Chains A and B, each alone.
Chain A
Amino acid sequence: MNDWFPLWLSLRVSVIATACAGVLGVALAYLLAKWRSRWAAVVEAIFTLPIVLPPTVLGYYLLTLLGTRSVLGGAWQSTFGSPLVFTESGAVVAATVSALPFVIRAARAAMSNVDARVEESARVMGLSEWKVARVVTLPLAARGIGAGVALGFARALGDFGATVMVAGNIPGQTQTLPVAVYDAVQAGDDATARTGSLVLGAIAVVVLVFVTQVFARRR
């Protein structure tokens, strides 16, 4: 494999996407946990939809939502001068949307497992809701949230369908590693396909080990 650009691009895109999904996902999970109504369940279902949608379908919806002819896409273009789709930013959006459900689900589960008594006593002590979240809920849910973020990273790194729809497959610009592997297979370039797949697999294993060791329960 002579051109390592797809690897750097993939890492950069998935790191940024994971950070966005992490912040957004935790915030959403917290709000969804507090907003007790039927609508909360509907909103949560919408945000976790990307897990069940085939990635190309997800990509298609994103393209419709963010393309140059859409409201959001047009707004982006007037603000930043270039379109959102078929750019690295578009790849980040596709990866973020793919990773978000993993973070939301893990964060929801972790936060609801926090002992309500501890949160209640914090409130009675006088801590504002924001402080309760910061001092009690988030630290106690950190382990579960971390695992969700790691899964989100793996999903963002490996995304193909949504990325290729929204960001395209522009060599040197938006060709992420999974897309490059697919391209190599189509071109009959087995060496590149093999190397790219090995690298992606190796990163997945490293992330896996990291998650199980750092976030493992203390004895």
Chain B
Amino acid sequence: MAQLVEHHLAKVRVAGSNPVVRSIRVVLRATLSRRLALVSASIAVAATLAAGCGNETRYDAVVAAASDTRDAFAEIATLAANQSDVRIGFVFGSSGMLREQLLAGAPYDVYVSANSAFVDEVVAAGFGDASTRDGFAVGRLAIISAVDDPLPGNASQLADYSRIVIANPAHAPYGVAAREVLQTLGLFGDVEDRLVLADNVADAVRIVQAGEADIGIVALSLVVNEPHLVVDEALHQPIQQTLVITTRGSSNAAARAFVDALQSTEGRVILQRYGFTVMS
């Protein structure tokens, strides 16, 4: 933004020779006397500082969740609101990033990861309440293509596409699974230099939908209502969605309420609608 400001400063100086701009400047100069400007600036600053206070949208609990749960959890949040009158705020991101933030002291009340290993790490580091650990569902992979592009008949045709997006395997479990699929099919070496790595699996979906890649291996839960091809689960390790209430969240009733909603019968129905395989 600062570069933007400097760039425009230069343009304004040059444009000063333009009669329209000149007259605007004359008007502005006349109205914006130094004192007036300083006074109005002080008022604006004071108003900002005052108005901002007390305007916080207070959420009762903050849930850090892997981004594949974005759509499903919107409904679960409504369910929790109906069941226990709680407002849940979400921080969506790749499971690995969220784990890093938790280990750095992020004030999340619940951690939902797309794999169980990260949750175990968080618990082992003392940030999670082991008794609340729950591998509540299994996620599935799906292939989507850019709008108006045909889907492949089966997964082994992925190599025919020029740009393939997956979530970044460095910190996203869905990315790890997607890479596994490519490796199992013997396609990885071929497509490796055509891979686009998204920050998290929701971003991968956005990239395909925006047309920046022609095909993507993404989370089924994010694309259930669009044309997609489900990936055979034999091609990768299970994507074990696991949750845990953090040490901080264990004293938060709203956190408990969210987890209850998620684990309730209605919650399981919602998850299944989004393509998750729910554990019984």
Residues of A whose CB lies within 8 Å of any CB of B are 3-5, 8-9, 11-12, 15-16, 63, 67-69, 73, 83, 85-87, 102, 150-152, 154-155, 157-158, 168-173, 183, 185-188, 200, 204-205, 207-214, 216
Contact = CB atoms under 8 A, between A and B. Distances in A.
Contacts of A150: 5
Report whether over half of chain B's contact residues are helix, strand or loop; otherwise say mixed.
helix
A181 to B, nearest CB: 12
A85 B102 CA distance: 11
A157 B57 contact: no
Interface residues of B, number: 46
Contacts of B135: none
B172 to A, nearest CB: 13
A209 B6 CA distance: 12
B32 A213 contact: yes
Contact of A102 (B2, B41, B59): B2
A151 B6 contact: yes
B59 A171 contact: yes
Contact of A5 (B6, B28, B57, B90): B57
Contact of A208 (B12, B32, B70): B12
A208 B5 contact: yes
A170 B104 contact: no
B34 A214 contact: yes
A25 to B, nearest CB: 14
Contact of B206 (A185, A204, A211): A185
Nearest to B90: A171
Contact of A154 (B2, B48, B55, B106): B2
B93 to A, nearest CB: 8
Taking each of B1, B200, B203, which has the highest tally of chain A beta carbons within 10 Å of its own beta carbon?
Answer: B1
Contacts of B55: 4-5, 8
14 contacts: A8-B51, A11-B48, A15-B45, A67-B105, A68-B105, A158-B2, A168-B106, A170-B91, A171-B57, A172-B57, A172-B58, A205-B8, A208-B5, A213-B25
B253 interface: no
A67 B104 contact: yes
B91 A85 contact: no
Contacts of A8: 48, 51-52, 55
Interface in B81-98: 89-93
B89 A170 contact: yes
B29 A12 contact: no
5 closest residue pairs by CB, A with B: A158-B1, A68-B105, A8-B52, A172-B57, A155-B2
